[in-house]
Structure 1
Amino acid sequence: MGIVDKHIVITGGASGLGLELLKQLQDENVISIIARMSTGLENLRRSFDRVQIYEADLADLKSVERAADLLVRSEKKIDILINNAAVQYTPHFLDENFRYETIKREIDINFTSVCSLIHLLLPNLLQPNPSMIVNINSGLGLVPKTSSAVYCATKGALNILSQSLAYQFEDTNIEVKQVFLPLIDTAMTKGRGKAKISVEQAAAQIIRGMQSSGPNIDIGKVKLLRLIQRLSPRLAQNIMKAG
């Protein structure tokens, strides 16, 4: 699927990877952003006057529904939906600073909002021409690590959801793809890990992958992780557990 003259919806496009995808796609496409109110969103309004912005707190289903309703009524079709927004909390359940209330927020942003938006925007995705749903996942959706247990669980759920939706949409115009990311250099990963790839590199590889065949777009070290998992699932588990 070529990515020119498309209407592309990106969640969480006010910062990080979402913003970089916007920058690399906006010259030849129409972009709509779904994101919560923030300084980054205000900066985006000033910098990209052609971008349509729909404010929503993705942890609040009613807010998601309002934004989706506005988008569906404003735009005739959606060619590509990129479910990019995510949040990650690192404390262990045993840690004193673990906050109970973050459980629901993490699940709602990382998983429930994805399910909701796919359902709510489906009328605009179903069309005579090819369209695409791109779910931004993580290597942690394949093999979990010790910390961020809820985050790992949401990404595992996203993996299964994407596979099932691909079956459901098999006889329609909609293609479902997943992007499996390694650690990338964003505000969310500040102070964690080494050998991160830049958002510029990640976005460029995602866009290339969207134009290629196959349901999975493996970025960077995820390619090695998938190979290790295939050859020795126990080794893959041990590597990620210690990571």
Structure 2
Amino acid sequence: MQTTGNTILITGGGSGIGRALAEAFLALGNEIIIAGRREAVLKQVAEANPGLHYVVLDTSDPESTQKVARQLIIDYPQLNAVIHCAGIMRGESLRDGATELETTVATNLVGPIRLDGLLLPHFLTRPHAAIVTVSSGLAFVPLALTPSYCATKAAVHSYSQSLRYQLKDTAVKVHELVPPYVQTELMGERQANDPHAMPLKDYIDEVMGIFQNSPDAEEILVERVKPLRFAEVNGGYAEFFKQFNDQMVAARVGE
């Protein structure tokens, strides 16, 4: 993905990684449209970043997504990239049933696939375009406390590979952003202030460096996520999985 001269739609752009990426790409001279469900939040971000645009979009809603995608192509004919940062992550006890399953799957998995399908015919007319999916290190080593989230992110990884293969002879590039545990409010204030999480600024700086120095990278991997990404390849996966989850459960018990 080239880092300048784009018109980029960023879902989930009102906070966290989505907002930080929007501001980083805006600073490089790109035209940016952020999308999300909370108009007040989007408006606040746009006012803080002159030149940034916003649109209200609930990617879990098929009718909303179709309507907004159609209007975006009309309003921004140069649109050539989307970054799928919209997502939710909830703790679940499978003994009680996957209580967040429907919402999580609709937001994290179905929403991006549906939006890609609506934007792709337009992207294929552009001289260069990009789709940036967002999975997680937890796609490769699941956190048992958040099973539906991890399952959707594993599915996003699989989908990204298929999409990339199907578009290999086109000008549309597919990149998979694989975040580690980052200081955002994805799971509330605790995560945003957790010293064990990677500072958001550090994460964005490293990600933007990869985009700029390795524009053809299929997976955007900061150093901190590589132990999760390559846990199975490196061997001892079962022990790594158990140790990782035991540590996370112990951290929650100690709160």
TM-score > 0.5, shorter chain as reference = yes
| Paired residues for 1:118-133 under 5 Å | 118-133=116-131
Distance 1:219 1:5, change over 3 A: same
SS at structure 2 position matched to 1:14: coil
Instruction: Give the 5 Å matches for 1:1-243.
Output: 1-27=1-27, 28-94=29-95, 100=99, 102-189=100-187, 190-192=189-191, 194-211=195-212, 212=214, 213-232=216-235, 233-242=237-246, 243=248
Q: Is the 8 A contact 2:174 2:218 kept in 1?
A: yes
How far 1:38 moved relative to its partner? 4.3
* 1:41/1:175 CA distance change after superposition, 3 Å: same
Aligned residues: 240
Greater shift, 201-210 or 26-35, is seen at 201-210
- Aligned-partner SS, 2:87: coil
2-side partners of 1:159 and 1:76: how far apart?
Answer: 29
* TM-score (norm. length: structure 1): 0.91
- AA at the equivalent of 1:226: R
- Give the whole-Å Cα distance in 1 for the aligned partners of 2:177 and 2:217: 11
CA distance in 1, matches of 2:172, 2:23: 24
Query: Partner amino acid for 2:37?
Result: R
- Which consecutive aligned stretches of 4+ in structure 1 deviate over 3 angstroms post-superposition? none
Q: Which runs of 5+ in 1 are unaligned?
A: none
Supply the distance in 1 between the matched residues of 2:83 and 2:70 (Cα, whole angstroms).
17
Return 196-205 or 148-157, whichever deviates more. Answer: 196-205
> Against the structure 1 CA distance between its residues 176 and 239, is the aligned structure 2 distance closer, same or farther, given a 3 Å change threshold?
farther
- Over residues 156-193 of structure 1, what are the superposed CA-to-partner deviations in whole Å (9 max), with x where a residue is unaligned? 10000000001000000011111111110011233256
The AA in structure 1 aligned to 2:160 is S
1:127 & 1:110 partners in 2: Cα distance? 27
Quick one: distance in 1 between partners of 2:43 and 2:76?
22
Gaps of 5+ in 2: 249-255
Deviation at 1:77, TM superposition (A): 2.8
Deviations 1:27-83 (A, max 9, x none): 311001121124322312322342221211222121111111110121213232101
Distance between the aligned counterparts of 2:161 and 2:12, measured in 1? 23
Given that 1:14 and 1:41 are in contact with CA atoms closer than 8 Å, whether structure 2 keeps it comes out as yes
Percentage identity across aligned positions? 25
Q: 2:33, 2:54 within 8 Å by CA — same for their partners in 1?
A: yes
The Cα RMSD (Å) is 1.9
Are the aligned partners of 1:144 and 1:240 in contact in 2 as well (CA < 8 Å)?
no
> Which segment drifts farther, 198-207 or 135-144?
198-207
What is the CA–CA distance in structure 2 between the aligned matches of 1:106 and 1:48, rounded to whole Å? 30
Task: Compute the TM-score of the two structures, normalised by the length of structure 2.
Answer: 0.87
